[in-house]
Amino acid sequence: MKNPFYYGGVVSEEYFCNRKQEIKELKKDILNGINLLIYAPRRFGKTSLVMHTLNQLKEEKGLKFVFVDLMGISSKEEFINEYFNAVAQSLEEPIDKVINFFKKVLKFKPTIKAVVDEYGQTKFYLEFTPEKTIETLEEVLDLPFIYAKKGRKICVVFDEFQEIETLDIENKLRAKIQHHSNLLSYLFMGSKKSILKKMFHDKSRAFYKSVKHFQIKEISEKEWIKFIKDRFKKTGKEIDTEFIKNIISITKGFPYYTQQFAYELWEITEKKVKEEDFIKALNLIMQREEDLFAVEWDNLTANQKKTLKLIIEKDGKHLYDEKLLAKYELKVGSLRKTLQILMEKDIIDKIDDRYYIQDPLFEYWLRKKIYR
């Protein structure tokens, strides 16, 4: 029997849990041509949610989407080709047809090439001289707009959008997008909240207030209970609700960790989940993550370590507690500064007046370190 849980890359329909509300709202916004910003921690299910929604819209409304993954992109030329390839892929036509299409639309007549990689995937790219970079960029950015004007519904997605920060194209990109108005929808995604926040909330930046901030939350305990129970049952195994609640209390409903936990627990369980199976699965996961957490911990300064401990001890609230500050030998000023640095490093975050550690397993590990 195949394990009914999966963790790692983007999850397909088969392993996808709920997010119904988000999908509904996303669909509406995309069809209305609204530009969106989605940021959430690493491994939170951003890409899965967006792909899932886009695939549904493709089927239901004939939407075309251009999915540009900016991870690892480090120059304008790479950006242009990644973008161009994404547009070419979205045409879903044979290679020669795609090339002929672009020969017709692209005014500056670049050399259009296609290579087939080792996985049998076609990759399209353009050859142009460095002097033509800006011109090429502008024309390539207009490609989805050409479709849109023909009445097609289009969505352009930039995954890991924070990566463009160093490419010096923010102004150009913003200027283009502005003229595309609501004929198409742009979706900016990423996990570096601190960088993205600056890009979209800082008055001096090109993308200032140009998007709707779309929030995604953890998947709720109720949904996970249904999802995990069902899957155990369908594969001839059984799990009590209590165990699922225990999983969620550790993973906080974080999609990646919850799937990982369920995956390992399913593997260990013979027929019905027992206490010892649960402990075994937990230890296995902690062992696997421990090295990473230890490195992360070692990379922190003394003040940062103290601040994280303080957050755990005070459950993130009322941190400026004289007694505890004295215990940790921390000054008010340095606590304030350290909190800011930890936010910028995306290690902690804040909801209302409560600070919390972003990675729930890192928090669990740290809690055990403090209270062992």
Ligand X SMILES: Nc1ncnc2c1ncn2[C@@H]1O[C@H](COP(=O)(O)OP(=O)(O)OP(=O)(O)O)[C@@H](O)[C@H]1O
- Judged by the rule CB under 6 A, the positions of this chain that interact with ligand X are 6-11, 15-17, 19, 40, 42-48, 191, 255-256, 259
Cβ at position 46, least distance to ligand X in Å: 4
Give the gyration radius of the chain's Cα atoms. 24
Cβ at position 44, least distance to Mg ion in Å: 8
Hey, which residues between 154 and 183 contact Mg ion (CB under 5 A)?
Answer: none
Nearer to Mg ion, 52 or 176 (CB): 52
SS3 126: strand
Nearer to ligand X, 139 or 359 (CB): 359
**Cβ-closest position to ligand X:** 45
Binding-site partner at residue 366 among Mg ion, ligand X, none, CB < 5 to 8 Å by type? none
Nearer to Mg ion, 47 or 90 (CB): 47
Cβ at position 49, least distance to Mg ion in Å: 10
Cβ at position 281, least distance to ligand X in Å: 15
Binding-site partner at residue 342 among Mg ion, ligand X, none, CB < 5 to 8 Å by type? none
CA angle 28, 138, 153 (to 5 degrees): 25
Binding-site partner at residue 282 among ligand X, Mg ion, none, CB < 5 to 8 Å by type? none
Nearest to 189 by CA among 293, 54, 58, 64: 54
Which residue has 């879903």 as its token pair? 92
Nearer to ligand X, 23 or 91 (CB): 23
Nearest to 199 by CA among 244, 169, 219: 169
**Cβ-closest position to Mg ion:** 47
SS3 367: helix
CA angle 184, 185, 191 (to 5 degrees): 155
Binding-site partner at residue 259 among ligand X, Mg ion, none, CB < 5 to 8 Å by type? ligand X
Cα separations in angstroms, 62 against 57, 100, 102, 153, 315 = 7, 23, 21, 7, 48
Distance in angstroms (rounded) separating the CA atoms of residues 82 and 76:
10
SS3 348: strand
Phi then psi dihedrals of residue 128, to 5 deg: -150, 160
Sequence-distant (≥ 6) Cβ neighbours of residue 21 within 8 angstroms: none
Nearest to 304 by CA among 339, 356, 354: 339
Cβ at position 10, least distance to ligand X in Å: 5
Nearer to ligand X, 19 or 64 (CB): 19
Cβ at position 163, least distance to Mg ion in Å: 12
Hey, which residues between 97 and 116 contact Mg ion (CB under 5 A)?
Answer: none
Identify the helix (H) or strand (E) that includes residue 24: helix 20-31
SS3 37: strand
Distance in angstroms (rounded) separating the CA atoms of residues 99 and 96:
5
Hey, which residues between 40 and 69 contact Mg ion (CB under 5 A)?
Answer: 47
Binding-site partner at residue 243 among Mg ion, ligand X, none, CB < 5 to 8 Å by type? none
Hey, which residues between 8 and 47 contact Mg ion (CB under 5 A)?
Answer: 47
Cβ at position 11, least distance to ligand X in Å: 4
Cβ at position 39, least distance to ligand X in Å: 10
Binding-site partner at residue 297 among Mg ion, ligand X, none, CB < 5 to 8 Å by type? none
Binding-site partner at residue 255 among Mg ion, ligand X, none, CB < 5 to 8 Å by type? ligand X
Binding-site partner at residue 256 among ligand X, Mg ion, none, CB < 5 to 8 Å by type? ligand X
Nearest to 66 by CA among 166, 152, 179, 168: 152
Interface residues with Mg ion (CB under 5 A)?
Answer: 47
